[in-house]
């Protein structure tokens, strides 16, 4: 029998209110670009009227299976990553939500290989039906490649030493294949760490982001949002670490101002495409009840009428 992994949705009320600010039941099409275990999706459905529609995306087969439990004709899910948002018709979406990162069931299930707290296969793929696992990649990657990934995606200052240890271990005893092996190897290499943080935290984050191309997918999805959102359509993005939040912040900022062409100084500027609305952090009560929410940031923007 499968373990009933639980998930507490972060910034639930704040995200849904940002997407659907009016109290009246909403019409139109909304998108939950990262279904997860459906906390946001179910709350959005509760705010939609009879003609409203919710389309969800998720590349995790377990999330798609969970979505199949929702018996609502207004709801549909696609077994795709949110980089494919651009497949939706232009200007067809009234509200778009992205809840980035990993869900609790993914972290807490040792078979998925996301966490150093449980021993399991070193996988970390969001979509286990395709692509390389982390262990497969580490078995062949060059030392410099490994160091660059851990440095760039984990902001780990001991990236070179960790990469050397991974390659040395591979040459001596074969490649690292489990989460416990990798966590132990990193702990033996990283001698200093911030209080309360496991030495392997940054390395696991980096490898997960890399193997799933998370930052590239986020950039593609944000660009696609400009095409699919209708005028006054809302964009709400929840991020959990600085690399993601920086991309979202810069994207909204870059499209929230008029752009002048320096080569044509007297030409009319290109109109801004977004209007930044809000930045929301979890309440003290939410953080106390769900410590995993402590680093979350919700950024909200609205599509302007200019296309």
Rounded mean pLDDT of the chain?
A: 91
- The per-residue pLDDT for 32 is 98
Which region among 118-127, 191-200, 295-304 has the lowest average model confidence (pLDDT)? 191-200
What does the pLDDT read at residue 258? 64
Mean pLDDT of 90-108: 89
pLDDT in tens, 157-187: 999 999 999 999 999 999 999 999 999 999 9
SS3 per residue for 166-213: HHHHHHHHCCCCEHHHHHHHHHHHCCCCCCCCCCCHHHHHHHHHHHCC
pLDDT at 214 exceeding the cut of 70:
yes
- Strand-pairing partners, residue 70, are none
* 164 SS3 class: helix
- Per-residue confidence at 7, pLDDT binned at 50, 70, 90? low
pLDDT, one tens digit per residue, over 103-121 is 777 787 888 988 888 899 9
Q: Which of 10-24, 53-67, 238-252, 254-268 has the lowest mean pLDDT?
A: 254-268
Q: pLDDT at position 108, please?
A: 77
269 CB-contact burial (10 Å; exposed 0-12 / middle 13-18 / buried 19+): exposed
Higher pLDDT, 192 or 181: 181
Pairing of strands 297-303, 229-239: antiparallel
Summarised one tens digit per residue, pLDDT across range 26-75 is 999 999 999 998 999 999 999 999 999 999 999 999 999 999 999 999 99
Question: Binning pLDDT at 50, 70 and 90, where does residue 267 land?
Answer: low
Q: Encoding tokens for residue 75?
A: 């709801």
**Has residue 14 got a pLDDT over 50?**
yes
Model pLDDT, residue 173: 94
Lookup result for tokens 């497949």:
87
CA–CA distance, 213 with 207 (Å, rounded to integer): 10
- Torsion-angle region of 11 (φ positive above 0: left; ψ -120 to 50: alpha; else: beta): left
pLDDT in tens, 230-249: 999 999 999 999 999 999 99
Q: 268 falls in which pLDDT band (50, 70, 90)?
A: low
State what percent of residues in the chain have pLDDT above 70: 93
Domains in the chain (CATH in brackets) are 12-104+214-303 (3.40.50.150), 128-211 (1.10.150.170)
Q: What's the distance, CA 206 to chain centroid? A: 13
In this prediction, residue 266 has a pLDDT band, given cuts at 50, 70 and 90, of low
pLDDT at 233: 97
270 pLDDT above the threshold of 70: no
What is the pLDDT, as a whole number, of residue 269? 59
Which residues of 243-293 form beta strands (DSSP E)? 274-280
3-state secondary structure of 236: strand
Q: Is the pLDDT of residue 307 over 60?
A: no
pLDDT at 2: 44
Q: Under DSSP, is residue 137 helix (H, G, I), strand (E, B) or coil? A: helix
Q: Taking 90 as the threshold, does the pLDDT of residue 148 lie above it?
A: yes
CA–CA gap between residue 47 and residue 37 (Å, rounded): 18
CA–CA dist 84, 219 (Å, integer): 12
CA distance 102 to 114: 9
d(CA 160, CA 186): 11
Instruction: Give, rounded to a whole angstrom, the gap between the first and last alpha carbons of the chain.
Output: 51
């Amino acid at each position: 029998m499968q373990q009933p992994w639980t998930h507490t949705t972060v910034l639930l009320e704040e995200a849904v209110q940002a997407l659907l600010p009016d109290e009246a039941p909403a019409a139109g099409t909304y998108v939950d670009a990262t279904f997860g275990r459906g906390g946001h999706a179910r709350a959005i459905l509760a705010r939609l009227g009879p003609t409203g529609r919710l389309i969800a995306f998720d590349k995790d087969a377990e999330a798609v299976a969970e979505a199949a439990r929702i018996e609502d004709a207004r709801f549909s899910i696609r077994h795709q990553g949110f980089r494919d948002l651009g497949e939706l018709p232009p200007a067809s979406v009234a509200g778009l939500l992205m809840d980035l990162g990993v869900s609790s069931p993914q972290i807490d299930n040792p078979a998925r290989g996301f966490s150093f707290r449980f021993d399991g296969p070193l996988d970390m793929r969001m979509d286990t039906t395709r692509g390389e696992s982390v262990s497969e990649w580490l078995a062949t990657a060059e030392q410099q490649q490994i160091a660059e990934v851990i440095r760039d995606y984990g902001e780990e200052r001991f990236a070179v030493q960790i990469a050397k240890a991974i390659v040395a271990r591979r040459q001596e005893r074969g490649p690292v294949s489990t989460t416990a092996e990798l966590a132990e190897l990193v702990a033996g290499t990283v001698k200093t760490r911030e209080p309360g943080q496991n030495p392997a935290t940054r390395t696991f984050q980096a490898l997960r982001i890399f193997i799933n191309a998370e930052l590239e997918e986020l950039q593609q999805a944000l660009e696609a949002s400009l095409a699919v959102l209708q005028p006054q359509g809302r964009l709400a993005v929840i991020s959990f670490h600085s690399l993601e939040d920086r991309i979202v912040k810069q994207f909204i900022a870059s499209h929230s101002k008029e752009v002048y062409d320096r080569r044509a100084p007297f030409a009319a500027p290109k109109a801004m495409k977004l209007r930044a609305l809000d930045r929301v952090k979890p309440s003290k009560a939410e953080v106390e009840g769900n410590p995993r929410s402590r680093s979350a940031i919700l950024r909200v923007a609205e599509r302007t009428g200019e296309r």
